[in-house]
């Protein structure tokens, strides 16, 4: 079939279309050997086909005296010396670092017809209406001017802080090939740290002053303390720096059998740092971290059998994944308490396991097949 198409390409343009129309069905049904191709070519009497010389004929032109069989035999060399045992070839070794300092803030885009906006916490105003300091979104401004900040269009309000994240990673990836058996392995190690840098002092979480002393206004101590740690709850300045070592390993194995059968499996263990957003109790308002922060661990594996031959394609997969030590943060308005609530959970574990089946089966009608999938898991 391939040679026939090549010969077709050498025909003159005016002959090509006529020849295709006359012998289209015969060409499309021809899937035989080179001998059957020669017979077909002789029957069709292809005009102007260009036949190049073989490698043997070219060798004879340059003085070779043997037969074609001797020529083919001469192309095969002697057995070479056994090479050294191969090692796992490394496809990639690399590292990267990431430094991010994003300012997260609210900006007054439109006064909606008003003349100005007062920069106070409306939730705190309802709960602490008698305390002029606790309702302030910018306590430093209030202490300096004796009144809440008056905002115009384009001013920042409510919250303003930097999310500082630093990451560094190194990884390696390699493949191993033994014919029917193949394997690949990937390794990664890294270091990650992050912290919050508050740019305004919120009245609810005044913290300490610039000298590390309690804040006092009109004889009232404004500094509040965490009942569990005993440390001052701050909103301005740098939080504690959270640091994590991360790593992961992944292994893939596969074996190909004759007849279109294949078995393959993958497995991995991943140790990842929690995200910035899930690590602070309320990143918009204060520097307090979720207690007992840990890396998130994931163990995952799957094993697969696949058959692909003669139009049939069937795959069966069994999988198992366990995720440990997750952290989740939720912020919502609690109607039962009539207050805005920050709810932090840590040490969350999940497990996923199951079996999947996918198939494609050809039907007796040409071009039609049945495809489907089944899945069971928890």
- pLDDT tens figures, 8-41: 333 333 444 443 444 444 434 444 444 443 444 4
Sketch out the chain's domains with CATH numbers. Answer: 2-74 (no CATH), 91-108+155-200+235-377 (2.40.170.20)
- Mean pLDDT of the region 177-188: 94
* Residues in Cβ contact with 319 at an 8 Å cutoff, skipping those fewer than 6 apart: 300, 301, 302, 352, 353, 354, 355, 356, 377
What is the chain's alpha carbon radius of gyration, rounded to the nearest angstrom?
37
- pLDDT tens figures, 198-242: 999 999 999 998 888 999 999 999 999 998 889 999 999 999 999
| Residue among 273, 335, 274, 324 at smallest CA distance from 298 | 324
Read off the tokens for 60.
């004879």
| Residue among 275, 276, 272, 278 at smallest CA distance from 299 | 272
| Residue among 149, 148, 143, 121 at smallest CA distance from 218 | 143
DSSP three-state, residue 148:
coil
Read off the tokens for 210.
């610039």
| Residue among 243, 126, 267 at smallest CA distance from 185 | 267
The pLDDT assigned to 234 comes to: 95
| Residue among 176, 370, 353, 144 at smallest CA distance from 254 | 176
The span from the CA of 327 to the CA of 324, in Å, is 9
């Amino acid at each position: 079939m391939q040679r026939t198409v090549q010969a077709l390409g050498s025909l003159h343009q005016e002959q090509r279309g006529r020849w295709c129309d006359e012998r289209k069905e015969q060409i499309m049904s021809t899937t035989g050997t080179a001998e059957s191709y020669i017979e077909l070519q002789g029957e069709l009497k292809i005009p102007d086909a260009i036949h190049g010389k073989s490698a043997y004929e070219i060798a004879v032109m340059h003085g070779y005296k043997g037969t074609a069989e001797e020529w083919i035999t001469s192309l095969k060399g002697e057995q070479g010396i056994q090479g050294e045992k191969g090692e796992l070839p490394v496809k990639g070794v690399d590292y990267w670092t990431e430094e991010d300092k994003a300012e997260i803030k609210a900006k007054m885009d439109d006064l909606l017809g008003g003349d100005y906006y007062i920069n106070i916490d409306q939730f705190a105003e309802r709960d602490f209406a008698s305390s002029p300091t606790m309702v302030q979104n910018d306590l430093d401004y209030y202490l300096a001017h004796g009144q809440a900040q008056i905002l115009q269009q384009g001013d920042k309000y409510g919250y303003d802080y930097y999310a500082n994240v630093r990451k560094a990673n190194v990884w390696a990836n390699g493949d191993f090939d033994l014919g029917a058996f193949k394997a690949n392995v990937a390794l990664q190690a890294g270091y990650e740290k992050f912290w919050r840098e508050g740019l305004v002092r919120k009245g609810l979480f005044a913290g300490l002053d610039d000298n590390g002393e309690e804040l006092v206004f009109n004889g009232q101590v404004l500094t509040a303390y965490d009942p569990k740690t005993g440390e001052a709850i701050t909103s301005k300045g740098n939080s504690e720096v959270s640091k994590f070592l991360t790593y992961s390993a992944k292994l893939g194995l596969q074996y190909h059998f004759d007849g279109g059968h294949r078995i393959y499996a993958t497995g991995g263990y991943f140790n990842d740092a929690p995200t910035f957003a899930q690590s602070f109790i309320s990143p918009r308002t204060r520097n307090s971290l979720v207690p007992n922060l840990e890396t998130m661990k994931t163990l995952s594996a799957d094993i697969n059998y696949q058959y692909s031959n003669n139009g049939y394609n069937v795959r069966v997969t069994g999988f198992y994944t366990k995720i440990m030590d997750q952290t989740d943060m939720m912020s919502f308005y609690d109607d039962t308490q009539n207050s805005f609530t920050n709810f932090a959970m840590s040490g969350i574990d999940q497990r996923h396991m199951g079996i999947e089946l996918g198939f494609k089966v050809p039907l007796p009608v040409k071009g039609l097949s049945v495809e489907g999938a089944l899945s069971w898991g928890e």
